[in-house]
Amino acid sequence: MLRAAHTDQHPPALTANTRSFAALRQPHYGSFLLGNMLAMMADNIEHVISYWVVFEQFRSPALGGFAVIAHWVPYLLFSVHVGALADRIDPRRIIQAGMLLFMAVSVAWGLLIYTGLLQPWHAAILLVLHGVAGVLWLTPGQMLVHNLVGAELLPSAVRLGATGRYLGMVAGPAVGAGLLYAFGPALGIIVNALIYLPMLWWLHRSTRRTPPSHATHAGNAKPQRAIRGLGDIIDTARSIAGNPTIVAMMLLAGGASLLIGNAYQAQMPGFAHDLGHDHADLSYGMLLGADAAGALIAGFVLESRGLLQPRVRTAFILAMLWCCALGSFALVSASTQALAYAAALALLFAAGFLELSFNSMAQTLVQLNAPAESRGRVIGLYAMVALGLRAFAGITVGLGGTLVGIHWSLALSALALLIITAIVFTTQGGARRT
pLDDT for residue 134: 94
Q: How far is CA 287 from the centre of its chain?
A: 20
pLDDT for residue 386: 87
Q: How much is the pTM?
A: 0.77
Q: Inform me whether the pLDDT recorded for 58 exceeds 80.
A: yes
Please give the Cα distance from 80 to 53 (Å, whole number): 33
Confidence at 328, pLDDT banded by 50, 70, 90: very high
Write the pLDDT tens digit of every residue in 157-203: 888 888 888 788 778 877 888 888 899 999 999 999 999 999 999 99
pLDDT for residue 11: 45
End-to-end, the C-alpha distance of the chain in Å comes to 32
Confidence at 7, pLDDT banded by 50, 70, 90: very low
Give the rounded percent of residues in the chain with a pLDDT score beyond 90: 30
Q: Inform me whether the pLDDT recorded for 295 exceeds 60.
A: yes
Please give the Cα distance from 235 to 36 (Å, whole number): 31
- DSSP secondary structure code for residue 15 in this structure: P
Please give the Cα distance from 132 to 102 (Å, whole number): 9
Question: Which domains are seen in the chain, by residue range?
Answer: 22-216 (1.20.1250.20), 230-432 (1.20.1250.20)
Average pLDDT for the chain: 81
DSSP letters of 20-66?
TTGGGGSHHHHHHHHHHHHHHHHHHHHHHHHHHHHHHHH--HHHHHH
